[in-house]
Structure 1
Amino acid sequence: MKKQNALRNLLGITQQEMAVLLNVNRSQWSMYEGGNRDLPAHAAQLLTEILMHTQSPDFKKADEKPANTAADRQWLTRLLAENEYQRLRLQREQATLEKQQHKQHSRQLLAGFVAHRKKTNKQHPWPLVAPKTATATQDHESRTRLLEYALRLEVLAFEKNLLESRLADLDGKTAR
């Protein structure tokens, strides 16, 4: 039963359509699918021919979805442009964060210097407030964000390679 049902599904037809195709009643086809009855000789012969045809390379080629290379190319090109935009945006954010981290690090060094000088040179009128420094939590968050940006940039680079590969595949298919 499942084999014949699978055949109908492969062909995309109903029991009634299969019965008409084989020139038998729907009830005859249904009983054949259920294993309760054999098909008449002419229908069995036609079914064999259909099965042989479905195994042919031409049938399998026809079963493949037709490629819409122009639409696919347009879609992949749009994805590639979005990928480029995201990579550039992340690189700018990464550069900004790195500059902020560098400033914070310089402030921490200066604050350390001022604190040391206050202890060793009491005669100089050091400012009462040392330069603002980042807390350990802020420093950790910055490093975490930088790591996140680096990972996202790597993922976008892989995505870019994949999209370019798919575009090249489309070029290969259209050149054939």
Structure 2
Amino acid sequence: MKNEVTISELLGLSQMEISILLKINRSQWSMYESRKRGLPVDATLLLSEMLRHVQNENDKELKKQELSTQQEAKKKETLEKLLNENDYQQQTIERKIEKIEKNRAFVVARFQLLDFLNNHTNKNEKHPELLQRMKDKAEDKAGQNDMATLITNQIKQEVLKYEAEILKNALEDLDKESLSAN
């Protein structure tokens, strides 16, 4: 019987406080808790209401804790999805940057070759139509893969890396919070 929680403890009150609230004397309350005596009707009704209120509040607190746990799980799931999406976007932007850099190298090589062909071949050996097509293709690729496009994609890449760090930190913080709560 020593391990049982008394009604006074359940309500967070001393025997004196509860007896005052129920308008009975302390010895009456003590005998009621030890199951040796009943309470007057008014005291029983008030005690019943007090216990019901405390239980409802305890139920609300449990529901809040459950909701909080569900919200943490949802938050973690959302952060993980965002991190996966960020990773995909980083891979995509990395491929775009590589393609732009490859095309820019192609353009530089093409213009260097055109310069060589224009300056180091005889007029009889030159093929003006071929050289013009080569030049047009190089200019077209240069326009599509200009420095502004490269820089824009590099900035996007840096922003995505920064976003990934923020998401990872948020996940770590969430894990720390859930460990400390348990």
Unaligned runs of 5+ in 2: 1-63
Match of residue 158 from structure 1: 162
Unaligned runs of 5+ in 1: 1-61
- Give how far 1:134 is off: 1.4
Q: 1:134 aligns with which of 131, 134, 139?
A: 139
Equivalent residue letter for 2:159: V
Change (3 A) 1:137 1:89: closer
- Give how far 1:146 is off: 0.5
| TM-score normalised to structure 2 length | 0.54
Change (3 A) 1:81 1:155: same
C-alpha separation in 1, matches of 2:109 and 2:125 = 22
Q: Deviations over 1:59-92 (max 9, x none)?
A: xxx9xx9462111100000000000000000001
- Give how far 1:137 is off: 7.3
Match of residue 100 from structure 2: 97
Match of residue 175 from structure 1: 179
Whether 2:116 is the aligned partner of 1:108: answer no
Equivalent residue letter for 1:152: K
Taking only aligned residues, the RMSD between alpha carbons, in angstroms, comes to 2.3
- Give how far 1:125 is off: 1.5
C-alpha separation in 2, matches of 1:135 and 1:75 = 43
| TM-score normalised to structure 1 length | 0.56
- Give how far 1:136 is off: 10
What SS does structure 2 have at the residue aligned with 1:134? Answer: helix
C-alpha separation in 2, matches of 1:137 and 1:92 = 18
Q: Deviations over 1:16-72 (max 9, x none)?
A: xxxxxxxxxxxxxxxxxxxxxxxxxxxxxxxxxxxxxxxxxxxxxx9xx94621111
Q: Deviations over 1:93-115 (max 9, x none)?
A: 11111111111110000010111
Q: Deviations over 1:111-153 (max 9, x none)?
A: 10111124xx44x5121231223169727x6110100011000
The structure number with the bigger radius of gyration is: 2
Structure 1 segments (4+ residues) deviating >6 Å:
none
Match of residue 13 from structure 2: none
What SS does structure 1 have at the residue aligned with 2:125? Answer: coil
- Contact 2:117-2:126 within 8 A present in 1 as well: yes
Equivalent residue letter for 1:134: E
